């Protein structure tokens, strides 16, 4: 009897230690956060055992905001369809930047996937976190909706489900996926997740595939390679040879999204052509 008691107590302690230790580790490593959803964000093993470092280059010389095609920005439209982006949110949004002395250029802005992400730093519950591959994600099942990340983001690339999100019916049947961010949940923050789940399957993000001008390049800084779906280039050389810059570089956020300066000249736009078409949602009503 005595030995039995001893054994069971030891088992209990072992069990407690194991679960307690696991819980401790899980709480220290945000990407292991304990929820099943987070497993999806685990790095994909590569043949060379190196970690991917996803990044993007947007060639503004090829971006005319789709006004030459008389279409709303197709990157945004593809993203909305691919992710069931709730009504009113544009995870990748095309802004028209004005030149000081007249004229303008278009700039598609996804989440910048900052390496020193101000949003991650301030999150009180670790709901937003950076995967080992460098993608900033949000766990909508942990987010408490305090919106301090939105206050902290210098690019306004975060969106909040203020009411019940307006979604197509098929989104409601989707299994919760932290990378695809479906289905949207009221009272939580959402944003571009860099489509790492697509990259893992050998596909480019929706916005890259949707761009009719092949202005958006997606790639891996570790392997130093990027593609616009047709061509493949050496990432670092491509950046260096084209005077790549990053948005608000002076803030030290170290974005993973690079831009090549331009105003759409390669697709026949002059700096004075304007008239960005508004994006549309094929489902639901406007809020």
Partner 1 sequence: MSATQAQERLEKTVLAPLTRTGPLYKLVMLALLGVVGWGLYAYSVQLRRGLVVTDMRDYVSWGLYISNFVFFIGISHAGTLISAILRVTQAGWRTPITRMAEFITVVALSVGALFPLIDMGRPDRVYNMIIHGRFQSPLVWDVLAISTYLTGSIIYLLLPLVEDLALCRDKLSNQVSPFKRIFYRVASLGWRGTPKQRRYLLTGMTIMAILIIPIAVSVHTVVSFIFAMTLRAGWNSTVYGAYFVAGAIFSGIATIIIVMAILRKAFHLEEYLTQKQFVYLGYMLGAFVLIMAYFNLLEYLVPGYKMAEGELFLLRMILTGDLAPLYWGYILGGLVVPGLIILLPWTRNITGLVVASILVDIAMWVERFLVVVPKLRVPQMPYPAATYTPTWVEWSITAGSVAGFALIIATFAKLFPVISVWEVKEHMEAKPVEEAPSPTELAGARE
Q: Which residues bind partner 1 (CB under 8 A)?
A: 27, 30, 33, 88-89, 95-98, 109, 118, 121-127, 142-148, 150-152, 154-156, 158-164, 186-189, 251, 253, 287
Report, in Å, the least distance between residue 48 CB and partner 1: 32
Report, in Å, the least distance between residue 124 CB and partner 1: 4
Report, in Å, the least distance between residue 152 CB and partner 1: 5
Report, in Å, the least distance between residue 61 CB and partner 1: 19
Q: Which is nearer to partner 1, 95 or 176 (CB)?
A: 95
Report, in Å, the least distance between residue 52 CB and partner 1: 25
Q: Which is nearer to partner 1, 141 or 214 (CB)?
A: 141
Q: Which is nearer to partner 1, 127 or 192 (CB)?
A: 127
For every residue of the chain, DSSP letters joined together read: -HHHHHHHHHHHHHHHHHHHHHHHHHHHSGGG-SSHHHHTTSPPPPTT-PPP-EEEEEEGGG--TTTTTTSS-HHHHHHHHHHTPPTT--SSEEEEEEPTTS-EEEEEE-----TT-HHHHH-SSS-EEE-TTS-EEE-TTT-----HHHHH-TT---EE--SS----HHHHHSPPBTTTTBS--TT-EE---TTHHHHHTT---HHHHH-TT--EEEEETTTTEEESSS-EEEHHHHHHHTT-B-TTGGG----SEEEE--SSGGGT--TT---PPPP--SSS---
Q: Which is nearer to partner 1, 129 or 206 (CB)?
A: 129
Report, in Å, the least distance between residue 163 CB and partner 1: 3
Q: Which is nearer to partner 1, 154 or 212 (CB)?
A: 154
Residue 196: phi and psi, rounded to 5, are -65, -30
Report, in Å, the least distance between residue 253 CB and partner 1: 8
Q: Which is nearer to partner 1, 58 or 198 (CB)?
A: 58
Residue 106 · residue 96 · CB < 8 Å: yes
Q: Which is nearer to partner 1, 124 or 278 (CB)?
A: 124
Q: How far apart (Å, rounded) are the C-alpha atoms in residues 188 and 207?
A: 23
């Amino acid at each position: 009897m005595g030995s039995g008691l001893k054994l069971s107590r030891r088992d209990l302690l072992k069990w407690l230690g194991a679960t307690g230790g696991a819980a401790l580790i899980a709480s220290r490593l945000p990407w292991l956060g304990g929820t099943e959803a987070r497993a999806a964000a685990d790095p994909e093993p590569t043949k060379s055992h190196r970690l991917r470092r996803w990044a993007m280059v947007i060639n503004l010389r090829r971006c005319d905001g789709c006004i030459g095609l008389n279409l709303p920005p197709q990157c945004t439209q593809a993203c909305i369809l691919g992710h069931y982006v709730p009504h009113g949110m544009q995870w990748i949004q095309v802004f028209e930047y004005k030149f000081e002395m007249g004229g303008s250029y278009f700039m598609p802005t996804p989440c910048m996937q900052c390496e020193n992400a101000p949003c991650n730093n301030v999150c009180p519950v670790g709901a937003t976190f950076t995967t080992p591959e460098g993608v900033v994600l949000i766990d909508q099942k942990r987010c408490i909706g305090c919106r301090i990340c939105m206050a902290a983001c210098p690019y306004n690339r975060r969106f909040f489900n203020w009411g019940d999100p307006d979604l197509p019916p098929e989104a409601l049947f989707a299994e919760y996926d932290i990378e695809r961010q479906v289905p949207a949940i009221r009272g939580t923050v959402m944003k571009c997740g860099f489509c790492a789940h697509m990259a893992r399957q050998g596909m480019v993000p929706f916005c890259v595939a949707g761009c009719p001008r092949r202005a958006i390049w997606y790639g891996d800084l570790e392997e130093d390679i990027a593609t616009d779906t047709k061509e493949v280039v050496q990432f670092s050389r491509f950046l260096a040879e084209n005077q790549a810059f990053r948005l608000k570089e002076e803030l030290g956020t170290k974005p993973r999204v690079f831009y090549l300066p331009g105003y759409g000249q390669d697709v026949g736009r002059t700096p004075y052509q304007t008239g960005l078409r508004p994006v549309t949602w094929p489902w639901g009503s406007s809020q």
